[in-house]
Amino acid sequence: MTWLSYKLSAALAKGRQSRRLTREQILVELLNKRAAARRAGLSDLEHKLREQIRWALPVRDASDEGDGPEPGGPERLDP
């Protein structure tokens, strides 16, 4: 029984560790949540997630190379 309690406490401690999220990881999570909301027919939640996705997208300055969207990429997020 002691071995099991040690494993459980180690798992809990590992789960409590803070994780450092990158912008890409946040976008992946938001996109997955938006897709699930769309499949479930939750249009209000999907709209809120779209706004969060727009906020999380990287911002390009006018001084960055290329003024238009990336080749082969979507021009807008909305379908």
- Can you spell out the DSSP letters for 19-74? ----HHHHHHHHHHHHHHHHHHT-HHHHHHHHHHHHHHSPP--TTSS-SSPPTTS-
Q: According to the model, what pLDDT value does residue 45 have? A: 94
What are the pLDDT digits (tens) for 22-52? 888 889 999 999 999 999 999 999 999 999 9
61 band by pLDDT with thresholds 50, 70 and 90: confident
Report the candidate in 45, 16, 13, 15 with the shortest Cα–Cα distance to residue 32: 45
pLDDT at 8 over 80: yes
Q: According to the model, what pLDDT value does residue 67 have? A: 53
What CA–CA distance (Å, rounded) separates 39 from 49?
Answer: 14
pLDDT at 71 over 70: no
